[in-house]
Amino acid sequence: MAKKDTAQDSVSAEVKPAGKLKLIIVIVVALLLAVGLSVGGTWFFLNKGAVQSEVATESAEPAVPVKQVAIYEELMPAFVVNFTHNGRARYMQVSVALLVRDQVALDALKVHMPVLRNRLVMLFSGQDFETLITPVGKEMLRQQATASVQELAQQETGKLTVEQVLFTNLVLQ
């Protein structure tokens, strides 16, 4: 009988670890299944939204081109300003063109052209001759003019109407 008890104990000892191993395998499989269903559900719902937006885009009218045609508005007459440098009278003549992409916005800005010209005259007359004779100085002046015109356009029309201010002619004397 002792042999039977020992044999049964060894058999039950072998069965218990196998039972624990099966439990661990079932738990791991259940976790993997839960993670897989979670990822699959998320992908399904996100992809479903993308498909609906593609269908909506296809059914909508064709999109307008991102960049419209450039419109150049010359500010005539050219700006002529004077300033002093080392006690000497200096003159600067600048021909300016505005790069705009919306004709309606440009027409709204044209109403405020006297204010725009005044801002540019004040900006140009406050410059230093030594700075303006360098290419970097001229580019900085152009960027300042662009910022000034864009600020005015934002205040008066509510839009950044002017994309760039371009110097078509710049003479320093």
Q: What was the pLDDT predicted at 158? A: 86
For the chain, how many structural domains are there in total? Answer: 2
Question: What per-residue string of b and e applies to 14-45 under the rule 16 or more CB within 10 Å gives b?
Answer: eeeeeeeeeeeeeeeeeeeeeeeeeeeeeeee
Alpha carbons 75 and 41: distance in angstroms, whole number: 61
Looking at the fold, whether 76 and 48 belong to one and the same domain comes out as: no
Note whether 107 and 49 are same-domain residues: no
pLDDT (tens, 9 = 90+) of the chain, 173 residues, equals 555 555 555 555 555 567 788 888 999 888 888 888 888 878 777 877 665 555 555 555 555 556 789 999 999 999 999 887 888 888 999 999 999 998 998 999 999 999 999 999 999 988 888 888 999 999 999 999 999 999 999 998 888 889 999 999 999 98
Residue 165: C-alpha distances to residues 55, 139, 143, 145, 169 (Å)? 41, 11, 8, 6, 12
- The Cα–Cα gap between 30 and 77 comes to 81
Read off the tokens for 139. 């580019």
85 and 168 housed in the same domain: yes
State whether 59 and 119 are in the same domain: no
Residue 102, both tokens: 């919306």
- Same domain, yes or no, for 55 and 130? no
Same domain for 116 and 38: no
pLDDT, position 68: 83
Identify the pLDDT of residue 2.
53
Q: End of a domain among 63, 91, 114?
A: 63
Give the CATH number, domain containing residue 88: 3.30.479
Of 63, 81, 101, which closes a domain?
63
Range of the domain at 103: 71-172
Task: For residue 111, count CB atoms less than 10 angstroms from its CB and return exposed for 0-12, middle for 13-18, buried for 19 or more.
Answer: exposed
Q: Do residues 74 and 97 touch, judged by C-beta distance below 8 A? A: yes
User: Are residues 56 and 89 both part of a single domain?
Assistant: no
| Residues 120 and 77 both lie in one domain | yes
